[in-house]
């Protein structure tokens, strides 16, 4: 019997200190500030979804061929350079995640098809070697139908993998299906629409190592708890704070702080 080799233990080392921190809290905003946040989220969400659709249309390409620079330049005119960088990065991450999900789904479908096919090859109520057949004709017939459904799903997944175009529902496929079952979900159409719009908003900015208290797009003041956010170009007329002296030189919106004086 062949003995298993033991793993080699690496030399001890010191873990580096964290380079940043993430704070989560609830903002106490006024009605006017909430309206501005919704407008910004809707505007950026629309632009990000358009960019994601463009990325999906490119299909399976190398990183140098995903046209990110051109997409970012187009988005910069509709938002800002930092918002555009975040949106294109989010689109790429969502695309790659969806492709990995397709591969996982294909593996699961192949396993299910293989298991059902093996059991269908055995007679009802009997064994073929170590494989046991289905107990009765009714269950066997149901499994034959199930096999056809799984085979069709596998063919569709294989096609999406080959073309590199996964199916992505911004806002969530589960919430989208709830729209057709409002009574079971105990929701009105207005309540569902409110949740749907909230899920499809985009209000995210990547952190920067040299930026104090956040980044140059969203900044949290640790003393007062106020959050300042640079507005996209079409919405800068809504600014209620002067320029913050950053390299973007853009009008800012100042929001109320959180419960603990910190926001994120």
Domain count of the fold of the chain:
2
In a shared domain, residues 67 and 140 = yes
Residue 237 lies in a domain: yes
In a shared domain, residues 164 and 89 = yes
Domain around 131: 51-168
- The model's pLDDT over 127-145, given as tens digits with 9 standing for 90+, comes to 888 889 999 999 999 999 9
In a shared domain, residues 93 and 153 = yes
Q: Which residue has the higher pLDDT, 205 or 12?
A: 12
Q: Give the mean model confidence (pLDDT) for residues 203-229.
A: 78
DSSP-assigned letters across all residues of 9-31 = PPPP-PPPPPS-------B---H
Q: How far is CA 64 from CA 60, 68, 183, in A?
A: 12, 8, 48
Q: Which residue has the higher pLDDT, 245 or 243?
A: 243
- The model's pLDDT over 5-43, given as tens digits with 9 standing for 90+, comes to 788 888 888 888 776 666 777 788 888 888 999 999 999
Residue 116 lies in a domain: yes
Phi, psi at 60, each rounded to 5°: -85, 100
**Domain edge (last residue) among 168, 201, 229:** 168
Q: Token pair of 189, please? A: 């159409």
Residue 204 lies in a domain: no
pLDDT at 243: 58
Whether the full predicted model's pTM is greater than 0.85, yes or no, is no
Q: Give the mean model confidence (pLDDT) for residues 239-258.
A: 56
CB-hemisphere CA count at 13 Å for 228? 21
In a shared domain, residues 56 and 149 = yes
Cβ within 8 Å of residue 80, ≥6 positions away: 217, 230, 232, 233, 248, 250
Residue 243 lies in a domain: yes
**Domain edge (last residue) among 133, 168, 203:** 168
Q: Token pair of 83, please? A: 């918002």
How does the average pLDDT of the chain come out, rounded? 85
**Domain edge (last residue) among 134, 168, 202:** 168
In a shared domain, residues 244 and 164 = no
Residue 224 lies in a domain: yes
Q: Token pair of 65, please? A: 């061929």
Cβ within 8 Å of residue 95, ≥6 positions away: 52, 55, 56, 166, 168
Residue 18 lies in a domain: no
């Amino acid at each position: 019997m062949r003995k298993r080799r033991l793993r080699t233990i690496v030399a001890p080392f010191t873990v580096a200190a964290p380079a940043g921190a993430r704070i989560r809290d609830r903002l106490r905003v006024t009605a006017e500030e909430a309206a501005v946040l919704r407008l910004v989220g809707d505007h950026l969400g629309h632009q990000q979804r358009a960019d994601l659709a463009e990325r999906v249309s490119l299909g399976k390409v190398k990183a140098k061929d995903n046209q990110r620079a051109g997409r970012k330049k187009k988005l910069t005119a509709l938002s800002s350079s930092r918002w555009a960088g975040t949106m294109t990065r989010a689109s790429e991450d969502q695309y790659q995640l969806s492709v990995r999900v397709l591969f996982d789904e294909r593996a699961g479908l192949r396993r299910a098809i293989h298991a059902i096919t093996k059991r269908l090859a055995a007679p009802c109520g009997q064994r073929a070697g170590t494989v046991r057949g289905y107990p009765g004709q009714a269950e066997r017939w149901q499994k034959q139908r199930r096999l056809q459904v799984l085979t069709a799903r596998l063919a569709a997944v294989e096609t999406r993998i080959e073309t590199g175009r996964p199916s992505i529902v911004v806002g969530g496929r589960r919430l989208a299906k709830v729209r057709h079952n409002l009574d079971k979900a105990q929701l009105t159409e207005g309540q569902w629409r409110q949740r749907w719009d909230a899920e499809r908003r985009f209000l995210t900015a990547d952190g920067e190592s040299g930026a104090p208290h956040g980044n140059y797009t969203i900044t949290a003041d640790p003393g007062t708890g106020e959050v300042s956010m640079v507005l996209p170009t079409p919405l800068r007329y809504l600014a209620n704070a002067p320029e913050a002296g950053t390299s973007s030189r853009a009008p800012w919106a100042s929001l109320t702080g959180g419960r603990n004086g910190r926001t994120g």
